[in-house]
Every structure is written in structure tokens, then in C-alpha cells.
Structure 1
Amino acid sequence: MQPHSLFIITGANRGFGRAIVTAVADAAKHKTTVILVGRNANELENVVQSVKDNVNIDTLLVSDISLETASEAHDTIFVKIKHLIETIQSGYPVLTRAVLVNNAGTTGDLSKKIGEYTAAEIQNYVNVNIASYVTLVSGFVNLLKEKPFDPDQPTPFPPALTIVNISSLLAVKAFPHWGLYATGKAARDMLLSVLAEEESSIRTLSYAPGPLDNEMQASVRATIGNEEQKQVYTDMANKGTLVKMKDSARKLIRLVDKADYRSGAHIDFYDKE
């Protein structure tokens, strides 16, 4: 069977999401379709232009999305992805591998400690970073996992499935002022650990990309309410020791391609391959 890989990357319009798209394109040795998911269509188009010369890559866009509730994530993201995948599966070659990379997310207000959160910001954070995430993971599994054979409605050969959560050291180690962010990352990690127990044929991975040299890290340095952490990150930025996004993205794609990790694992950029 001719190989055909699919990558769905959320938050693909900028930052680490964009770096992951580039890493996928650089590593592609056979036909690979990439669905870029993000809020801004113009920014997504710019990412497409950056990989358009790779003959193995086809790109599709899902823009104008909302992560504000599980229902909105379903309607503005999953429904569109489902339609695209059904179209892809009706063509040739059919998908032999499908990878969902959940990169989209927010940090929350890092100036605050847990006792300072409002009910509204707690609800918003859970909606954007947990509820919408569970919706996409659940939908992806339901859409593409192997189904019982039905002679009246035959389906294409099911692709090998991998689900990746862009995680953080904060999912497994506590630091002050990261209450919402750490809670969200830990919840996302655990969802994939449970999925690995439920579905042995689906590989799951929570990948902590390290302290990246990007806009998000600059925002952390500007807003974090803990002076010790602010100094650590500032020193790393000044010394040039923050992790380059392209290096971390390339490691992630190597991990996904090699697939020799334990399904459900949490792997950090600094861990040995």
C-alpha cells in the first residue's frame, strides 16, 4: 500500500505550531497531507507558502475557529476536519497514518496566585485549554479508529493513529503562579494516558518542548509574578540558552516517526532519545 500520512496541527499559524509544520515538511519522505488549524487565515496562508516547494506536502486549512466551549470547538474545528478527512479518504492513496498534534493553548494570567483567580477566568481557561482539547481528541478517535466490519458500509483501511499533546514540565513539576497552566497541562497528559490504556492500537504522547525562544516565553518573562522564575528565564534569554523552536519541533517529529516510546508517556525535550 502506498503510504499517505496526515498531520493535523492546532495553533499552526505561529510560534511552535508553525515550527512543527516546518518539521513535518522537512521530514516528509512520502505523500503527506497537513491540516493547519488556527484562528487567522492570513497567518495560516503564510505558513503554507513557507512549505509549498516540498513536493511531498499537501496543505489544507481550518481557520476562523473557536475554542471558547466544547460545542464551539466541535462545530468550528472538528466538523471541518471531519469533512476534510472524509474527502481525503475518498481519494488515492488512502490514509495509512494520521497524527493529531494538539498545540493550541494559553498560559492564563501568570501574575496571579491561585487564590486570586476569578470564577470567569477559571471557566474560560478550562473551556479553551481542556474542554476543547477533550472534544478534539474524542472526535479524532471516534472518526478514525478501526470499526467493526459492516459489508453494507465498508470503510477504508483504518490508518495508524497517533495523538500528541504539547505539554510542559509544569504538568509534572509545580512552580508558583502557574496554577491554571499546570492544571491544564496535567489534565491533558492524563487524558492521553487513559486513552493509551483504553485503545492499545492508538499511540499517545505528551511532549514537553522545553523553554522555547518565542513570543510566549517573552510574555512569560514580562508577566510572571515570581521574581525568581523571571530572573531564570531572563538569564536564559540573555545567554541564548532558550530552546530553539526548530530543534524542539524536529525532535518531536523524530519521536513520532520512530514510535519507540511507551504509549501514554510524557517526554521532555531534554530527555535522551
Structure 2
Amino acid sequence: MTDDTPSTPRRTALVTGASRGLGLALARELSARGWQLIITARGAADLENAALETGATAVPGDVTDPAHRDALARVANDFGGLDLLVNNAGTLGAVPLPPLAAYPLDVLADAVRANVIAPLALIQATLRGLRERGGAVVNITSDAAVEPYEGWGGYGLTKAALDQLSRVLAVEEPGVAVWSVDPGEMRTRMLADAVGEQEAAGADDPEVVAPFIADLVERRPESGRVSR
């Protein structure tokens, strides 16, 4: 006798910046929990390795490129839409970290494009599927968005804008869960570039942080800003 009970469709997530750091750790965690994944990052070779490890569909490219975002949206549509969008890709901005009085404005504009405009554009491009599937958006933020750390003004203001974007989106799209997640300091290349290898070595491994985010998605608390 055959079992005619319909199978539950697998949940689909798009994770940006997934070739290393938190993005890679989260891709591993979601894969282990049965999610099917679309992953993207600029480094094609590292991204392909991540795809082989997690069974993900790799779409290499730069999220600040509108053509690449269109490609990601097409792949998401081929999967029937997203249950989860993780806007993790981003840039630190100017390094070494300059005071705002000396911040190069062209670099700041690039940081806004990467950390604010690209996440919003991906949300816009995938929102129809997220609405239909009662999905969720995770925007990775930072405590630099809310604390006045010297030298972190450029990066912090982009993350503050991302926080506000998340709050407004949650009000405008009540059927979609929206969290801006502050993962705390992590042992990543970005942190090492900002504070040096020695200080960064004492931070948590991204593999410790990824289960916290995956648990958040599965618990589905009220939309808002979440700190680990």
C-alpha cells in the first residue's frame, strides 16, 4: 500500500555573504535542520565550497549589483518563493576606522549601498513569495547601530538605518516576521580588520552564533530588534 499523505515542502532560505563567517555558519546550521538553501557571496570559489558542503544552490555575485539581485530573485522564484531571507552580506567601510570628521564620503556611500540599499532591494525583489509563505527576514545588525563607539560612526549609521528599515517593514508587512539581529562580536575577518587579529581572536566563533539565529527563526517571536 502506498502512502498518499502529501509531504511537507522543504523550507527555503536565501543567505547572503555565505562564503565565510556568520553567513557560512548559518548556512551550515540551516542545512542541518533540513532547509534548502540559496547562497550568495562575491567569492565564487569559496561559495562553491560552501554549496558542496551544505547542498545549497550557489549564485555568486555582489548584492550591490541590481543584475545580481534580479538573478537571486529568479532563483528564489524557481524554488516557489522564500520562507527566509537573511541579509548578512555587508561592508565595514573605511579601514582603518576613521572619525566621522575625516570619513571619505565616497566610501560611506558605498557602505550605504551595501548595508542598507542592497538589503532593501532584496526584500523588495523577494517580498511576494515571503508574503505568500508567511516568511521571515533577518537583517544582521550591530551594537554599533545603538552605541557611540569612536571610529565606528560610518558603519554604525548604516546599521542604524537597517534597524529602522526593519522596524518600518515589520509594521507595513504584518504577515512577514522581521528581525534585526545583533549577533555580538564574532571572530571574523571583518572584526579583525576593524580591531586587529589579537582582539578579534577573543570573540565568539560564528558557529556558536548560528544556532541562536536558527532558533529565533523557528520560535518566530514578535518582530523587532534582537541581541544575543
Q: Same fold (TM over 0.5)?
A: yes
Question: Which runs of structure 2 are paired with 1:193-272 in the superposition (5 Å)?
Answer: 193-222=167-196, 234=199, 237=201, 240=202, 242-259=203-220, 261-263=221-223, 265-269=224-228
3-state SS in 1 of match to 2:19: coil
Distance 2:164 2:91 in 1: 18
Q: CA RMSD in A?
A: 1.9
- Whether 1:22 and 2:14 are equivalent positions in the alignment is no
Counterpart of 2:157 (choices 169, 183, 191) is 183
TM-score of the aligned structures, taking structure 2 as reference length = 0.89
Distance 1:106 1:64 in 2: 15
Gaps of 5+ in 1: 53-58, 90-94, 147-157, 224-232
State the 1:80 CA deviation: 1.1
Counterpart of 1:173 (choices 130, 137, 147) is 147
- Whether 1:86 and 2:47 are equivalent positions in the alignment is no
Distance 1:14 1:216 in 2: 11
Counterpart of 1:12 (choices 18, 24, 29) is 18
Amino acid at match of 1:268: S
3-state SS in 1 of match to 2:79: helix
Distance 1:145 1:10 in 2: 16
State the 1:88 CA deviation: 2.0
Residue in structure 1 matched with residue 117 of structure 2 by the alignment: 131
Change (3 A) 1:145 1:13: closer
Aligned length in residues: 221
Residue in structure 1 matched with residue 86 of structure 2 by the alignment: 101
Describe the superposition over 1:194-249 as per-residue Cα deviations: whole angstroms up to 9, x where unpaired.
011111101000111111012222212239xxxxxxxxx72x73xx4x11211101
Distance 1:21 1:258 in 2: 18
Counterpart of 2:46 (choices 43, 48, 53) is 43
Q: Percent identity?
A: 26
Amino acid at match of 2:89: A
State the 1:125 CA deviation: 1.7
Gaps of 5+ in 2: 1-5
Moved over 4 A (4+): none
Residue in structure 2 matched with residue 154 of structure 1 by the alignment: none
Distance 1:33 1:26 in 2: 10
State the 1:64 CA deviation: 2.8
State the 1:13 CA deviation: 0.9
Describe the superposition over 1:70-111 as per-residue Cα deviations: whole angstroms up to 9, x where unpaired.
xx3x3112x11222123222xxxxx6x610000001111243
Residue in structure 1 matched with residue 61 of structure 2 by the alignment: 64
